[in-house]
Copies of this chain bind each other. A is one copy, B any other.
Amino acid sequence: MSVAAPHPATPGTLYLVPTPLDHGCDTPAALDAALPRHTLETAARLTHWVTENAKSTRAFLKRVDALTPLAQPLQALHLAELPRAAHKQGDHVGHGGSGRNGGNGRGSGSARFDARALLAPALAGHDMGLASEAGMPAVADPGSSIVRAAHDAGVPVAPLVGPVSLLLALAASGLNGQHFAFVGYLPQDAAARAQRIRALEALALKTGQTQLFIETPYRNAALLYALVHTLQPGTRLAVSQGLTLAGGHTRSLRVADWRKLPLETALGRAPAVFALGA
């Protein structure tokens, strides 16, 4: 594909490029185990990127290059990082409800950074890539501000197929996949966390809506302990770790059965997805 400046009247497309879920793992998975050929080929030809972390995206593109040669040398690619403001509580303006420090109120609607400026190459006609550190950008990860700005600027948006840990975990949970919610992180404070766990359980049991959430890996064990000792015995709790990777697994049990397990060693330090429901 040509990377010469195309006609400025026709914007390029913003491709949402998923990456493997082995970020930070000692043994990376084979890239084509997680990504279809079309995703690899598209990533290989993109010369302009917006990324959560440039170093991670360069490492990803180096792996792509080994399977599908890049259109331009790695050094010649243009990588722009999302501003830090987009990382901390998610970059969805005014809605950090699921983030660590987020509130629940409606935002002002004004952007905290100029997402449109990052789309300048697309407005000049270049196809662009958007990537996060692992998985699908803009899903439980930064990126939605850029996607929204693309729509507002008339830049077509094309999501590519790849691993999405939340959805793999939901499918593998055996819980209701026809009605579900992802609620981000639970509170860190023990009392607030227990209260939130009970509220999520009540919602799940009343409406049938599976509740999905995540935790910072080093708090996995504490969260699991809190869940198992706060939820009702008949509630089902599923935990997935390392899906798509060697040793990846999902355990889905009634809480009464979780209570028979040695919880301290039930989870490793890898990112986990938790799901509860009837």
Question: Which of A73-81, A150-158, A223-231 is the interface stretch?
Answer: A150-158
With the chains together, A116 CA to B92 CA distance in Å? 43
Q: Does A47 contact B (CB under 8 A)?
A: no
The answer to whether A174 has its CB under 8 Å from any CB of chain B is yes
Q: Is the CB of A171 within 8 A of B147?
A: yes
Interface residues on A, range: 35 or more
- Cβ contacts A226-255/B at 8 Å (1 or 0 each): 000000001010100001100011111100
Identify which of residues 18-48 in chain A touch chain B, using a CB-to-CB cut-off of 8 Å: 30, 32-38
Pairs A–B under 8 Å by Cβ, sample size 6: A33-B161, A97-B208, A98-B176, A106-B205, A144-B176, A178-B184
The residue in chain B whose Cβ has the minimal distance to the Cβ of A90 is B178
| Other-chain residue from B97, B171, B236 in contact with A136 (beta carbon distance below 8 A) | B171
Q: A132 to B188: give the CA distance in the assembly, Å.
A: 38
B174 touches A179 (CB 8 A): no
Contact with B along A73-101 (1 / 0, CB 8 A): 00000000000000000101011111100
Taken together as a complex, chains A and B put the C-alpha atoms of A167 and B182 apart, in Å, by 12
Is A181 a contact partner of B209 (Cβ separation < 8 A)? yes
Q: Which residues of B contact A173 (CB under 8 A)?
A: 144, 147
Contact of B209 with A177 in the complex, beta carbons under 8 Å: no
- The residue from B104, B158, B180 contacting A172, defined by CB atoms under 8 A apart: B158
Contacts of A94 in B (CB 8 A): 208, 278
Residue A59 CB within 8 A of the other chain: no
Q: Is B174 touching A147 in the complex (CB atoms < 8 A)?
A: yes
Docked complex: A121-157 residues within 8 A CB-CB of B: 136-141, 143-145, 147-151, 156-157
Q: How far is the CB of A64 from chain B (nearest CB, A)?
A: 13
CB-nearest residue of chain B to A130: B171
